[in-house]
């Protein structure tokens, strides 16, 4: 049995501004793009192992989450069952969603995004990898988001530090 957390985030050309180092008294300029192209990153993480699963999608809907669920199901080792904790987005609860046999979906309580450690990954990506940038086109945006995700998940220790909340560790130790 493994405990996984799933969430999705929209990244786009409107970007994020973040703080940076500058000489005292200076007012550094940063680019801020105002175009309207987006990509959705569907990400799942197992805090105990540092394993991840992610998909870039042009939209967030039932078909997109189905792709991720099917892929995560194939990724799991034989005889492993995963409990996937996720929010109550409409596409997560859609009747058309076919949950693979080795996954159980566990919806979070209403209005409790702070319980999902996957949400912290989006903050990390925006602040450390995707802020203060301009993307030439959709391909550049897709490539930047994919590179940022791969950079983040290439360090399992850092990933566990971001996602393995104290209450998750405590629950694992009591089992």
Number of independent structural domains in the chain: 1
Q: What is the pLDDT of residue 169?
A: 87
The length of the chain is 175
CATH number at residue 108: 3.30.420.10
Query: How much is the pLDDT for 23?
Result: 76
Average pLDDT over residues 35-50: 88
Best CA proximity match to 17, nearest among 28, 4, 25, 7: 28
| Residues 110, 82 contacting (CB under 8 angstroms) | no
pLDDT in tens, 145-161: 999 999 999 988 888 88
Please give the pLDDT value at position 142: 94
Q: Is the pLDDT of residue 112 over 60?
A: yes
- Does a structural domain hold residue 80? yes
Angle in degrees, 0-180, between the axes of helices 156-163 and 138-153, rounded to the nearest 10:
90
Inside any domain, residue 15: no
Asked if residue 84 belongs to a domain, the reply is: yes
| Per-residue pLDDT at 54 | 96
pLDDT given for residue 149 in this prediction: 95
pLDDT of residue 157: 86
The mean predicted confidence, pLDDT, of the chain is 88
Full residue range of the structural domain in which residue 77 is found: 2-9+36-174
Q: Which of the four pLDDT bands, split at 50, 70 and 90, describes residue 129?
A: confident
Residue 85: inside a domain: yes
- Phi, psi for residue 19 in degrees, rounded to 5: -75, 155
CA–CA distance, 83 with 46 (Å, rounded to integer)? 10
Q: Residue 114 domain-assigned?
A: yes
Domain membership of residue 144 (yes or no) is yes
The pLDDT score that the predictor gives to residue 4 is 96
Average pLDDT over residues 14-30: 64
Residue 174 vs residue 85, higher pLDDT:
85
């Amino acid at each position: 049995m493994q405990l996984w957390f799933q969430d999705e985030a929209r990244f786009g050309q409107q970007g994020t501004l973040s703080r940076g180092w500058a000489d005292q008294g200076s007012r550094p300029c940063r680019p801020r793009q105002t175009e309207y192209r987006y990509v959705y990153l569907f990400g799942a993480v197992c805090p105990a192992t540092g394993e991840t699963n992610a998909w870039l999608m042009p939209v967030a809907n039932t078909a997109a989450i189905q792709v991720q669920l099917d892929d995560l199901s194939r990724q799991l080792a034989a005889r492993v069952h995963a409990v996937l904790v996720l929010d109550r987005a409409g596409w997560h609860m859609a009747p058309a969603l076919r949950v693979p046999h080795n996954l159980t979906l566990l919806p979070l309580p209403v209005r409790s995004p702070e319980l999902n450690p996957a949400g912290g990954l989006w903050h990390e990506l925006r602040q450390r990898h995707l802020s203060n940038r301009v993307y030439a086109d959709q391909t550049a945006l897709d490539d930047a988001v994919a590179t940022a995700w791969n950079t983040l998940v290439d360090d399992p220790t850092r990933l566990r530090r971001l996602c393995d909340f104290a209450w998750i560790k405590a629950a694992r130790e009591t089992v």
